[in-house]
Amino acid sequence: MSFAISNELRARLERGGPILALTGAGVSAESGLATFRGPGGMWEGRDPMELATPQAFAADPETVWRFYDWRRKQAAEAAPNPAHVAFAALEQGRDSFRLVTQNVDGLHERAGNRDVLRLHGSLWRLRCLGDCEEHDNLELDLGPLPPRCACGALLRPAVVWFGEPLDPAVLHRAEQFAEEADLVIVAGTSALVYPAAALPEIARLAGAYVVEVNPETTPLSERADVHIAGSAGAVLPRLVEVAGIA
């Protein structure tokens, strides 16, 4: 696709200052994963946003786990797209690049990013409800659902559900990254969910240049320094090229 790159964006890409990327479900959608917020975002006739709550898990852990078991399998079958590959290239080509994601599918890591700050956790981590300890689990077959810990307690996905706060330590790191950034690239997020949606504003007030990459306008569009109307998979490789990263 063809799109204009402002002189200021070009200058900030070329000069090598700290870059912060904030990614959301739209980036994963380009790999074929459901966003759940748009039309057709249903699972077995149910609204996934009603299942992703502590209350739903307490009432029916088996159904919630069937939903997350399906999500894990969908994520495993998906492949990183050009946007994921571009973000990995930015991390490898810059001394100061931070990736903060609202996504839980692990595609950024599979594309090659090694320093990923996951605001909403990961599908590939489980938390024991007995001692609250977490561990990675990449197995596609979790056995009988809902799975249980070796101690006998229920396991839950180590993700942030609706109604739960973000990990304060994770949020603090994200805010620090925003304050230090020279350039912020916001891709594939509607900028509706706080506190993550506040990160571009924190960065802008600290002097960063904020670029939104999204096919649609969002609440962030008017506040960003520039809105590039396009898919992340089409736009990000071009930004990597301008940054001089092979």
pLDDT the model gives residue 208: 98
Inter-residue contact 198 to 224 (CB < 8 Å): no
Mean pLDDT across the chain, nearest whole number?
94
**For residue 194, with 0-12 CB atoms within 10 Å meaning exposed, 13-18 middle and 19 or more buried, which class applies?**
exposed
172 is catalytic: no
24, 138: one domain? no
27, 135: one domain? no
| CA Rg value for the chain | 18
220, 192: one domain? yes
Tell me the average pLDDT across 177-196.
93
- Give the chain's domain count: 2
Prediction pTM value: 0.94
Tell me the average pLDDT across 21-37.
90
Inter-residue contact 22 to 171 (CB < 8 Å): no
Among 84, 108, 120, 227, the one annotated catalytic: 120
Name the one residue in this structure whose structure tokens are 């991390």. 91
Domain boundaries, position 138: 36-77+121-159
pLDDT band per the 50, 70, 90 thresholds, residue 41? low
Tell me the per-residue pLDDT of 224-240, one tens digit each, with 9 for 90 and over.
999 999 999 999 999 99
Tell me how crowded residue 79 is: count the other CB atoms within 10 A of its CB. Answer: 10
141, 201: one domain? no
